[in-house]
Structure 1
Amino acid sequence: MPLEADGRTRVRLSELVALRARVAKAALPRLESRAMRAGQQSSRLYGRGMDYAESRVYQPGDDVRRLDWRLTARSGRLHTKLFQEEREGRLLILLDTHESMRFGTRARFKSVQAARAAALAAWYAVRAGERVGLMEFGGGDRLLRPQSGPRGALAVCGALAEWDGARARSQGEPLSDALLRASRLMHGANRVLLISDGLSCDEAAHGRLLDLTRKAGLRVLVVADALELSMPAPGRYPLEHAGERREVVLLGERQRREFQQLLGAGQARLNEQAQRLGLPHRTIDTASDPVDAVIALLAPGVRR
C-alpha cells in the first residue's frame, strides 16, 4: 500500500501547485522589457547577440575577445562576458532522485524539499515567459520535455508527485553520467537548474559540468539535511533505513565532527565543484523556505 503524500516524507501535489502563489507574490527582479512585449525571455547564447547578459569565470575554449577586463582586474581571475539574443527561453530542471534524497531529520525529506524547489523554479520560469522541463537521475531516467505557460509548470508539478510516489529502484547514477545524458536531451534548453544533495558527485562530474556550461547557463541548488551542514549536538539519534531502525550514539566532539563530515561529504563536494567553475549556486536545508534561493539562482543577470 503506497504511503500517504504528507508533504514530509512524500511529495504532495496540492502543495506544489499552491507554490504558484508564492512566486506570484514574490518581489521578482524586473524582466527584460523587450522580452515582456514579445511574451518571451532573453536567453543566454554564448558568442551570439549584441546585448550583454552577465560574466562568468573564464573557461578553456572561451573567446578571448569576450574577456571582461574590469571584473578580471577586480577579482584577480579571468572572466568572460556572455551575450544574449531575444528568443523564447527554456529551463531544464535536472532533479536528483537517488535514495539518498529520501532522508531528513528536520521538517521533511530532502526529496520533498527538492521537489518544492523544482516546483518553484517551474512557476518562476513560466512567469518569466520560459518553457520548463524536468529530467530525473539516480532513481530512473524519466524526462518531461519543456512546455510553456501554466500548463508547463503544472506538468512539472504532476511529474514531481508521480515520480516520487512511484520511485523506481536502481543502482544509482553518477552525476557525470546524468550530466552527459542531460546534454544530449536538452531539447533546446538554454538554462539548466541542477538540484541534488551531491552524494552522486563523482570525479568525472567536473568535466561534464564544464561541458554543460558551454551549452547552457548552469545553476546548482544543493539540498542538505541539518546533520550534513553542521556538527550535531551530543545525544542519541534514531535513524531508519529500508524499514530497519537503528540508534546512533554521538557524544565526543571528534566523533560528532567525523559523523557530520561523513554525512556532509556530498554537499561539500558539489559546492566545491560549483565554486571552482564559478557557477551560481546555493544551499538550502530541509526546513528552510526555498523561494529566495530559487529566485536568486534564476533571476536575470545572476552571477554567483
Structure 2
Amino acid sequence: MTDTLPEHADGVHLCVDELLPYRLHTPRWLPPAKSLWSQLLGQHQSKQLGRGMDFAEVRQYQPGDDIRSIDWRVMARTGKPHTKLFTEEREKPTILYIDLSSSMQFGSSLMLKSVQASHVASILSWLAVGEHDRVGAVIDTGVTLIEIKPVSRQKGPLQIIAQLVKGQESALKSIASGSAHSMENGLQALHRLCPKGCDVIVISDFIRYDTSLKPLLGQINRRNRLKFIHIYDPLEVGDTRFRGAEWVSNGKDTRWLNFSALNTRNGIKKAFESHQEKLELLCQSMGIDYRSISSGTPLLKQLAG
C-alpha cells in the first residue's frame, strides 16, 4: 500500500494531534482560492453600499456612489465628501453532522470510515472559522448524540475535535452491542441546533438513511443550505487485494463471502453503486450538494487531486 496514515494517526482511534494540523492547511482553500472546499462552504460576505448592514470603512466619494451613504461628519472635518462602506450581514454558521455509528467503524485498508469523517470535519471546521463564521456540530455515535452549539474563532473547532476524540472512543466500545438508533435522532438534533440560514454538512456513509427521512431532510434544507459528504471504503466498491473467504456483516445480515470470486467483488460493487445512485438522485431532487470521500486514501491527497 503506497498511501500512508497522517502523522499521529493509527487509522482506528483518534487523537487531538492528528486532527489539529488541518488548521495549517486551510489557507490554500480560503478565498480567493477556488477549490472543492471553498465552493462547499461558499463565500458569505460581499461589500455593498446600503443601510442596515455592518459598517466596514469610509473612503473618498466616487462618482456613482449613493448620496445617502455620504458620511457628513467626515466631510465636515476634511472638507471632502466621503462614502460609508458596509459589509452585508450574511453570516451563515456551519453545522456539521458527523456519523460515528457502527457502520462507520469499518475500514479495509488505510483507516476506518469514522476516522476519515473526523478528518473531514476537522478541516471543514477550520475553514468555517477561517471565513469568520461560527461552527457547531452534531456527533452521532449511533448510541449517543453530542451536540455542540455554533461558536466562533478557535473555540468551535477545538470543541469539535475534543468531542470527536471522545465520541470515537465511545463508539469503538459500543460496536459489540450491535445496536444503533435511527439516523432520524441525529437529524432531529441537527434540525433543532440549526438557526435559519446555516451551511449544514452531513458527513456519513448513509447506511442508516431510509426514504422515511426525506421529509425531515426537506425541513432542514428549506431553512438552510444542505450538503452531503459520502464516506466510503475501498472494499465497498469491490477494491481489495484480499482473495480469501471471510465472515462478514453489513449490520443486518452475516455470512461467508469468497473474495477470490470475481462475481463476489462485482456484486459488492453493484450494491454500493445502487446505494450511491439513490443518494445522488435524492440530492438532485432536493438541490443538495453531493461529494464522496474514500477512507482508503489520505484526505489531503484527495483534496489535492
Same fold (TM over 0.5): yes
**Structure 1 residues 46-125: aligned runs within 5 Å:** 86-125=89-128
- Partner of residue 146, structure 2: 142
SS in 2 for 1:284: strand
How many residues are matched?
243
Alpha-carbon distance in structure 2 between the residues aligned to 1:91 and 1:232: 36
Tell me if structure 1 keeps the 8 A contact 2:238–2:268: no
**How high is the sequence identity, in percent, across the aligned residues?**
23
Q: CA deviation at 1:199?
A: 0.2
SS in 2 for 1:136: strand
From 222, 237, 240, give the equivalent of 1:229.
Answer: 237
Provide the rounded CA distance (Å) in 1 between the counterparts of 2:303 and 2:217.
19
The secondary structure found in structure 2 opposite 1:149 is coil
Cα gap change, 1:15 to 1:291, in 2 (>3 Å): same
Q: Which has the larger radius of gyration?
A: 2
- Residue 214 of structure 1: SS of its match in structure 2? helix
2:187 aligned with 1:179: yes
Q: In the TM superposition, what is the alpha-carbon distance from 1:105 to its structure 2 partner?
A: 1.0
**Change over 3 Å in CA distance of 1:144–1:234 after alignment to 2:** closer
Q: 2:162 aligns with which of 158, 161, 166?
A: 158
| 1:30 matched to 2:32 | yes
**Residue identity matched to 2:96:** I
Q: Distance in 1 between matches of 2:276 and 2:139?
A: 18
Structure 1 residue 130, shift from structure 2 partner = 0.7
Q: Which runs of 5+ in 2 are unaligned?
A: 1-7, 34-42, 46-50, 53-87
The one-letter code of the counterpart of 2:25 is R
- Measure the CA separation in 2 of the matches of 1:188 and 1:159: 24
- 1:161, 1:86 → 2: CA distance? 34
Change (3 A) 1:196 1:267: farther
Per the TM alignment, residue 174 of structure 1 is displaced from its structure 2 partner at its CA by: 2.8
Q: Give the Cα–Cα distance (whole angstroms) in 1 for the partners of residues 296 and 212 of structure 2.
A: 31
Q: How far is the alpha carbon of 1:13 from its aligned partner?
A: 1.3
Q: CA deviation at 1:266?
A: 4.7
Of 269-278 and 258-267, the range deviating more from structure 2 = 258-267
Alignment of 1:9-24 (within 5 A): 9-24=12-27
Distance 1:188 1:13 in 2: 31
Which of 269, 277, 283 lines up with 2:286 in the alignment? 277
Question: Match for residue 219 of structure 1?
Answer: 227
- Contact 1:8–1:107 under 8 Å retained in 2: yes
Tell me, which stretches of 5 or more residues in structure 1 are unaligned?
Answer: 32-40, 44-48, 51-84, 296-304
Superposition deviation, residue 229 in structure 1? 2.6
Post-superposition offset of 1:255 = 2.5
* Equivalent residue, structure 2, for 1:193: 201
CA RMSD of aligned residues (A): 3.5
